[in-house]
Amino acid sequence: MKSQSEQKPECCPKFDPIPWDDKSFEWANKKFIKDKVFTLFYMPLNFGGVMKRLDEKLTKAGATMPDYLGLSDHTSKWNMDIYLAVDKEIPDAENVTLSGKFYSKVYEGPFQDTGKWMKDFEIKAKNKGLSMKKEYMWYTTCPKCAKKYGKNYVVVVGEVA
């Protein structure tokens, strides 16, 4: 059985920003599996290994990852929680659900612009009268695929208070 990354000629599918740019939406018990990535001053150290481990669990369970959605929650300089969207419960994984109202905005550029993106996101949300409980980053492609496609899209997804 091939993993999801082996089923495609590229490791990351091309991302379409239109459905996620400046959008409000609601999730009711949206399924995810959660794992931890070690970081050093917010830079992920074992991201690839964690993604491989999660992909193996998905493949073994015969599950898919809708929209290839993976939300990152930088909990400290030393840890990032990763949430991968799944279409069903996954054995031997930390299964979680997210429910609520959300707002998303797409950004494009180098990761070093993250601070600018977050400030812009806060302004956009405030101008819409939204207050955020929590914000996640969705790195839509790996650095190799971003280079291949010529775009490095990152989506900020905020849970609305």
Identify the domain containing residue 64 by its residue range.
25-160
CATH number of the domain enclosing 67: 3.20.80.10
Q: Is residue 84 in a domain?
A: yes
What are the phi and psi torsion angles at 48 (to 5°)? -60, -40
**pLDDT for the residue numbered 9:** 53
**What 8-state DSSP symbol labels residue 86?**
-
Number of domains comprising the chain? 1
**pLDDT for the residue numbered 4:** 47
Q: Is the pTM of this model over 0.85?
A: yes
Q: Is residue 17 in a domain?
A: no
* CA separation for the pair 26, 151 (Å, rounded): 27
**pLDDT for the residue numbered 161:** 93
Q: Is residue 10 in a domain?
A: no
How do residues 24-53 score in pLDDT, each as one tens digit? 999 999 999 999 999 998 888 998 899 999
Q: Is residue 123 in a domain?
A: yes
Q: Is residue 6 in a domain?
A: no
Q: Is residue 1 in a domain?
A: no
Q: Reduce the secondary structure of 110-153 to three states and give it as a string.
A: CHHHHHHHHHHHHHHHHHCCCCEEEEEEEECCCHHHHHHHCCCE
**pLDDT for the residue numbered 159:** 97
DSSP-H helix ranges across the chain: 4-7, 47-61, 114-127, 143-149
Across 118-133, average pLDDT: 96
Rg of the chain over CA atoms, in angstroms? 15
